[in-house]
Amino acid sequence: MAIRRRIVAGNWKMNLDHAGAVALAQAVATGAHSCGDCNLILCPPSIYLEPVAQTLELTNNAGHSGVALGGQNLHDQPKGAFTGEISPTMLVDVGCTFCIVGHSERRTLFGETDSVVNTKAKAVLAAGLTPIICVGETLEERDQGRTAAVVTEQISGSLAGLSAADLAKSIIAYEPVWAIGTGKVATPEQAQEVHALIRKQLAEHADEATANQVVIQYGGSVKPENAGVLAAQPDIDGALVGGASLKAEDFLAIAEQFAHAS
> By the criterion CB under 6 A, which residues form the site for ligand 13P?
11, 103, 175, 180-181, 219-222, 240-244
185 neighbors 240 (Cβ within 8 angstroms)? no
- Distance linking the first and last C-alpha atoms of the chain: 12
Q: How far is the CB of 31 from ligand 13P (least distance, A)?
A: 19
61 neighbors 95 (Cβ within 8 angstroms)? no
Q: How far is the CB of 232 from ligand 13P (least distance, A)?
A: 19
Q: How far is the CB of 147 from ligand 13P (least distance, A)?
A: 17
Q: Which is nearer to ligand 13P, 59 or 73 (CB)?
A: 73
88 neighbors 78 (Cβ within 8 angstroms)? yes
Q: Which residue of the set 103, 112, 141, 256 is catalytic?
A: 103
Q: Which residue of the set 137, 141, 175, 256 is catalytic?
A: 175
Q: How many helices (H) and strands (E) does the chain have?
A: 12, 8
| Cβ within 8 Å of residue 229, ≥6 positions away | 188
Q: Which is nearer to ligand 13P, 135 or 206 (CB)?
A: 135
Q: Which is nearer to ligand 13P, 66 or 224 (CB)?
A: 224
247 neighbors 42 (Cβ within 8 angstroms)? no
175 included as an active-site residue: yes
Q: CB nearest ligand 13P: which residue? A: 242
Catalytic residues: 103, 175
